[in-house]
Amino acid sequence: MSNKAYLGIFGPGPNSSAAICSENEIIAWAEEERFNRIKTAPNSYPSQAIAYCLEEARKNNLEVVAVGYGWNCETYAELATKNLNETIEKFPSESDHISLKVQQSLNSLYDPEMIKNDLALILRKNGVELSEMEFNFYSHHLCHAATAHYCSGYKDSVVIINDGVGEVASSTLYYADESGDFEELATVELPNTLGGLYASVTEFLGFRAYMDEGKTMGLAAYGKPNAEIEEIFEDIARDIENEFGYIVNPRYRYSGKRTFGKKFTDKLVERLGPPRKRENSAMEAPYPDIAYTAQKQLERLLMSQLEYAAGLNLSKNATFAGGVHMNCKANGVLGESDLFDNYFFQPAASDNGAPLGAAMLACKDETGSKPAIPPLNHLYYGPSFSEEQIESVLKKCKLDYKKSENIASEVAQLIADNAIVGWFQGRMEIGARALGGRSILANPLNPDARDHVNKHVKNREAWRPFCPSLQSEFFKDYFDTELDSSRYMITACSIKKEYLDVLPSCIHIDGTVRPQTVEKGANPLYWEMLNEFEKITGHPIVVNTSFNVQGEPIVMRPEEAIRCFYGSGMDVLAIGPFLVKKT
């Protein structure tokens, strides 16, 4: 067996991350935000995530032989500057000098010599010499495509990538063949961007662009069709018949005066009215209807892409990645389509997936064949802590705690009794969704659980929904869907009508749910807790939200779990085999 390892890196940039794999296994994969405690770690190299990945490789007696970086810095400055100049020529505006300055700063940020030099220093501090191994800059969208196809387990697939931008491409269509090679079939470049447009709407709605798009998606469920707003959005963006591409009018985003925000122009304000101020409720008209229209438009444009891809008759399998495909509602619409037989949505679809793709591409280039990594069946690739390490922290914090003889059974009973439980077990998840490694759990049968967790634990808007985890064996019993599973909360589906009033705290206002199906082999302890909960309540399903409060990354270490527990309205902390209760 080979002892070679392949390191992938992305950052600085949103979701700065690192991943490491062998020829046949993902070894470690983590986001810098979990280490430095800055949400998305946008201005940081993933130095601590890199150190963690290298340490895990050493534990597995693996030696790094190649490094991949998830952004093509060698071509970026030339391509992006040319693209911007062409846009300015077609759509001149008074804000062009600002756009040019922003591009100049990005060119400096991703200067290939600077990136390589900085990474060499980071690696040297961890005992690795970059000069002694193969190093490649990879296309950002190709990295996304690698995570989508290689993790799917499909022999071949049509790969659809959508994000804000990767170098200059915002949407790309690939065909991945049985040998693991990618053929680029179509691409969409700036100023046309689905991710960028959705980010602009997110900022207009008073949320943070490229961070709070999930809030826009959640708010959309409270909106309704509005002919006047729909007409405006038809002028903002439209598809191109019989093509993969689409048109986004830059006059609404960057090509114009920007008095009220960085991501939208005054023209958008002229058409839609004043943007929401943070002190005003997002539930006030017309904001839910704007979110609704933006969401429906996104779904229509993505379906247009899917129809084009299906018409090529290249594969029965479709795979997806890129930040747009963190939109579980849109993914659900795509996944229910009969245009393809099989669908795989990379759960780490945003830029935290890019380093894994870079690592896999580095492996393919070094070995000459695609990675023999099995289909993705979990996301627990982060740090874990032993019982001794956890107890040491509990003692240091001078906490009263007890060691449980059966943590799964005790926690199930506590949740059934309507306790809000912090669940800290095993390796940490990669990605935005808590999946039973670092979770806050509640009783879905309790109609007050959602409001209580939103207000007293998460400190977030009352209208935002929560998601459930359930045993995979019962997925079809609860949900009306064509999907076979939903392991990662990456697709939304409709719950069966008979459960609408039974599980009120994990169902959104539109009757959809973003479930996690838990398989016993992937997370035995979490599965067992659900099994015990089913014995008590008759339902193998709990509310599951990420172990953090609004604005902070998900907890990684025991110290962070304790701080979050005592700084919020949780009742019980289940950390390893130990229980901590508030009195």
Q: Name the residue range of residue 253's domain.
A: 164-345
Pairing of β 17-21 and β 4-10: antiparallel
If asked whether residues 116 and 243 sit together in one domain, one would say no
Whichever domain contains 113, its CATH number is 3.30.420.40
Number of domains in the chain: 3
The residues pairing with 214 across neighbouring beta strands, listed in sequence order, are none
Q: Do residues 129 and 238 both lie within one domain? A: no
Any domain includes 376: no
Is residue 425, in this structure, part of any structural domain at all?
yes
In this structure, the answer to whether residues 124 and 212 fall within a common structural domain is: no
Residues 6+ apart with CB under 8 A from 71: 10, 13, 110, 137, 138, 140, 166, 167, 354
Angle value at C-alpha 379, between 376 and 380, nearest 5 degrees: 130
Q: Is 309 left (phi over 0), alpha (psi -120 to 50) or beta?
A: alpha
97 part of a folded domain? no
In this prediction, residue 461 carries a pLDDT of 87
Q: Please list the pLDDT of the chain residue by residue as tens digits (583 residues).
A: 579 999 999 999 999 999 999 999 999 999 999 999 999 999 899 999 999 999 999 999 999 999 999 999 999 999 999 999 999 999 999 999 999 999 999 999 999 999 999 999 999 999 999 999 999 999 999 999 999 999 999 999 999 999 999 999 999 999 999 999 999 999 999 999 999 999 999 999 999 999 999 999 999 999 999 999 999 999 999 999 999 999 999 999 999 999 999 999 999 999 999 999 999 999 999 999 999 999 999 999 999 999 999 999 999 999 999 999 999 999 999 999 999 999 999 999 999 999 999 999 999 999 999 999 999 999 999 999 999 999 999 999 999 999 999 999 999 999 999 999 999 999 999 999 999 999 999 999 999 998 889 888 988 888 888 899 999 999 999 999 988 889 999 999 999 999 999 999 998 989 899 999 999 999 999 999 999 999 999 999 999 999 999 899 999 999 999 999 999 999 999 999 999 999 8
User: What is the structure's pLDDT at 464?
Assistant: 87
- 513 sits in the region (left: phi over 0; alpha: psi -120 to 50; else beta) called beta
Residues 334 and 398 in one domain: no
φ and ψ of 375, to 5 deg: -55, 140
**Same domain (yes/no): 238, 189:** yes
Q: Identify the burial level of 192 via C-beta atoms within 10 angstroms of its C-beta, where 0-12 means exposed, 13-18 middle and 19 or more buried.
A: buried
Same domain, 357 and 401: no
How far apart, in Å, are the Cα atoms of 376 and each of 24, 25, 379?
12, 10, 8
121 shares its domain with 175: no
Pairing of strands 134-137, 63-69: parallel
543 lies in a domain?
yes
70 and 218 in a single domain? The answer is no
